[in-house]
Structure 1
Amino acid sequence: MQMILPFPDIGPDIFSIDIGGFTLALRWYAMAYIVGILLAWRLAVTTLRRGPLWPRDHAPMPAGDVDDLITWVILGVIIGGRLGFVLFYQPAYYLANPAEIAMVWQGGMSFHGGMLGVALAGAGFAARRGIPLLSLFDLMALCTPPGLLLGRIANFINAELWGRPSDLPWAVVFPGARAQDCPGVEGLCARHPSQLYEAGLEGLLLGMVLLILVYRRGWLKRPGQIMGMFVLGYGTARFIVEFFREADAQFIYSGNPMGHVVQLAGTGLSMGQLLSLPMIALGIGLIVFARIRPSARR
């Protein structure tokens, strides 16, 4: 008999209040964003106050500028994440329904698009304030994993972005007709909790690696190294998890049950893997570039 885990009895709302026919709710996903931003702010301020960690023992910007940077980053995440989802995952639908592009409350965000949005926001902020770009990117990369960890846990609580069917002991029975639509599976369909795989790899493990490299190995001394390790680490983690994560519904059809966007001799790549390959290459390139540049340790 297959061992499966029931989905925990946790709703998407932390609490809700009815006020005159209007329901005000605080959702776990929103709380993940709020706490993730607060943790990023605290880590950024702490790191900027440690001058010896940086090139020439001097932080690239005052700690007080982090408040303004957070505003730019939030805009980059929202705009880039939404446009990335529109362009990478459902371009035909949104081309036919352009008015829905701005309806972010309906769901649909892309991490890869959000990362591009944050990179552009960071570049604009650096140019406006005269901040070394690679050092700013290093700081932003260091502060991102806590938000990824909390966001993926929120995905699990929301019972979304679940994995492929599995008979492993820790497979989870997610609620909902779509989660239970598993061709060839009789009875309850258990799936990989791929959200938790991502939380562990992209958030916890990658975050610990970056902290060790910054606070124990001095990697901020060579601008671009930490950003490179983050991009490489995230791209690799996402590429691996995509083997266990259910593909988006629009990519699944008869003859392509795995939802590959690139098919190669009976196997293929998902959209997440396809978008992760340039990240892996970019990450390696940034690390190599940072190491061949003249050192700025003093």
Structure 2
Amino acid sequence: MNQYNPPKKTGSLLERAGEIYDYIPAVRTEEQRDNAPKSAPPETPARQVIPVRQRPVEAYDGPTVIVDRDKLRDAGFIVPDGPVTGISEEFRIIKRQLLLAAKGSQKMAPLPRGERILICSAHPDEGKTFCALNLALSIAAEKDNEVLLVDADFAKPSILSSLGLEGSKGLMDALADPQLPVENCIIHTDIPGLAILPAGDQTNADTEYLASSRTEQVLNRLTQNNPNRIVIFDSPPALSASPASVLAMHVGQVLMVVKADETTETALRDALSLLGGCDHIQLLLNGTKFSPTGRRFGSYYGYGE
């Protein structure tokens, strides 16, 4: 078991993970601007400011695939339109912080490329795909956003099988073939707000394709016509495959999944150093068997586990 100081009695899962592993995420900040009102020149008439409205994006009305809800339920994932559970409440809390960083607020500017979120771990079997899929399902329930879940674990893709879907062309195919529009690889599901971009066929040069200039062009196409889309990447483990470090340079946020009592501090720090291409990294403590506050998420609604 890792050595750590007892956590505080309050704080989110992200904050508790950071405290346990003595890690302070790097948060990009901006200099304070002088907001003091300045008087206009005496003879300059005041101008009326007219807000500019973004043109709404038309809803997709093409073919969709049916996600196996029973398969989701049996595997412990959030079930769309299902009852409120402890796991669904936890991911509601987690997604709110990520969406705030992506969209900004009156007190903070949005992170550059904050709508792209990389879910990673140090080693396999620490819960990154479980967290990526649950986070995507939770964001899909938002009224003002939709989510595109990208299976970027090219060596061992598992998103489609977790949803009970068939394989198809995906991200790596679009990177390798300039004639293949990445939009044509997206799978739209019958879950409102949820679309999937499969990993595609693995190559012997996955990392090199990701490091090419074409990657940024392809990723920009995922959101350029849909400003309300959040893109979540299910990454390979950082210490097991090289694509994770390259993917980190293309996103605005990284969520590092840390498995309680299994992920060592050394492994975590080594993984974080490889993901230094992203300036905004947070930790998600997964698989905890205790709650310092005794709180059981979801119990307020009568569905506590």
Shorter-chain-normalised TM-score: which range? under 0.3
Return the structure number with greater strand share.
Answer: 2
Normalized per residue, which structure has more helix? 1
Q: Which has the higher contact order (CA 8 A, sep 6+)?
A: 2
Could you tell me the TM-score, scaled by structure 1's length? 0.26
